[in-house]
Amino acid sequence: MAPITTLHYLIAAAALFVLGVIGVLTRRNVVIVLMSIELILNAVNLNLVAFSRLWGLHGQVFAIFVITDAAAEAAVGLGILIAFFRNKETVNVDEVDLLKW
């Protein structure tokens, strides 16, 4: 059994990132889009933590900031979503085109 190297982490993080991007680009429900954004952020976190094994603890501190930011962002995102749902009675992202042109 070969040891788990940084490369493995990077591959896993890249896979997670790609899943997150696909989720953002293809799903219509905003809740799932938000969840996919969390996946992307966590893929970044995984990279930060993996690199902190090589260059010190700065990466882990960054990851904690990102988690905090993700929480705040999720709160704001869900708040906008609820306000929007009250107006339009929908949470489908392709029906949100109030600001076009």
Partner 1 sequence: MFFLSHIWLIPLLPAFGAAMMFFFGRKLQKSAVSAVCVGAVVVAFIFACGTVWQYTGYAEQNHEQPYQTVVYTWLGADTGQMNYVTQDGKTAPFQVDAGFLLDPLSSIWLLFVTGVGMLIHIYSVGYMGHEGGYYRFFGYLNLFMFSMLTLILANNYALLFVGWEGVGLCSYLLIGFYFHRKSASDAANKAFIVNRIGDAGFILGMFGIAWYFGSLRFTDVNHLARSGHFAVDDPIITAATLCLFIGACGKSAQIPLYVWLPDAMEGPTPVSALIHAATMVTAGVYMVARSNALFVLAPTSMKTVAIVGALTAIFAASIGLVQNDIKRVLAYSTVSQLGYMFLALGVGAFAAGVFHVFTHAFFKALLFLGSGSVIHALSGEQDMRKMGGLADKIPTTFRTMLIGTLAIAGIPPLAGFFSKDEILWRSWLANPLLWAIGFATALMTAFYMFRLVYLTFWSPSRVDHEVEHHIHESPKSMTVPLMVLAFFSITAGWLGWPASLGGSNHFEKFLEPVFARGAEASAAETAPPASEGNRGVDLGLMVLSVLAAGVGWGMANRAYRRAEKSYVEPIAAAAPPVYDLLYNKYYVDEGYDYVFTGRRKVGDVRLGVMGLGEASSWFDSQVIDGTVNGAGWITRLSGTLSSWWDKWIIDGLLVNGPAILSRIMSYPTRMLQWGLVQWYALTMVVGLVGFVAYYAWR
Q: With b meaning 16 or more CB within 10 Å and e meaning fewer, what string describes 15-35?
A: ebbeebeebbeebeebeebbe
Pick one of 1, 2, 57, 99: the residue that binds partner 1 (CB under 8 A): 99
Q: Locate tokens 């709160």: which residue?
A: 75
- Residues 33-92 binding partner 1 (CB under 8 A) are 33
Among 5, 6, 26, 68, binds partner 1 (CB under 8 A): 26
Using CB under 8 A as the binding rule, whether residue 2 contacts partner 1 is answered as: no
Rule CB under 8 A: choose which of 1, 2, 7, 25 binds partner 1.
Answer: 25
